[in-house]
Amino acid sequence: MKKAILIIQCPDQKGIVAEVSRFLFTYQGNILEVDQHVDEEMGRFFMRASWELDSFALREDEISPRFQEEVAGRFGMEFSLHFNFPKPKMAIFVSKLSHCLFDILGRHHSGQLEVDIPLVISNHEDLRDVVLAFGIPFHHIPVTAQNKGEAENLQLELLEKHQVDFVVLARYMQILSRRFIQSFPNRIINIHHSFLPAFVGARPYHAAYERGVKIIGATAHYVTEELDAGPIIEQEVARVRHHNTVSELVQIGQDVEKVTLSKAIKYHLDRKVLPFRNKTIIFY
């Protein structure tokens, strides 16, 4: 089914839902989903609406200008229009850890993620065979302190060549430059453990074990120039007990990480995430 998705934000005021519904009804739109939220502190209205296109009376290229003229202009709306076709293109960046990569590729192979994956980029060779087994091209681009700029140039060239829409960092253990991040605003999704800022460094699970934590979590977020501080898309937690070993904490944590990341990807693909300032509105 071909469908359109309209994402709206504007100052809160009377009549918004009625006018959006009237617009879709006028042009014979069969509404599939409508969700809205009002941030009372900011006086801001947010809305997501999707509808079938087969019977819609406007061509795809006519919808935005007509909506601007008939509805958006009157309410001071900012809006974006999306379609569920063609499939968006997602690049995966990975280092050595495989749990998130396996989960994404498995869900993609089974049809759970409606997306094309034209390439996987890694700064190590370790996961080449895994990626090739799923029939996806693998590109090894080593990254060092000395060649980081050159490596990112190669990465960006590949992303442009394959017309990639967004990037997923599936435990990619490199910090992206400002230039790279600005090339994909709110289109780079990262996953990390939710021990931050308590247990930083390369061995967070070991430090958490020493501290005796009772909850392990993971956070998926959009990447911004401030490290690990971008708008949060999804978070999950799992409870642990005193008898769990370090290796068990790692396993539990990695299970949470991969599920959290895949949920965030799904929300992004379904256009259910609306970044606003440094947080997100999630239309479940």
Q: Which are the catalytic amino acids?
A: 228
How far lies 218's CA from each of 139, 146, 221, 252, in Å?
27, 31, 10, 11
Q: Which residues of 15-26 are buried (b: 16+ CB within 10 A; e: fewer)?
A: ebeebbeebbee
Closest CA to 269 of 120, 90, 102: 90
User: Cα separation of 220 and 6, whole Å?
Assistant: 24
User: Cα separation of 129 and 105, whole Å?
Assistant: 13
User: Where does residue 277 rank: exposed (0-12), middle (13-18), buried (19+ CB within 10 A)?
Assistant: exposed
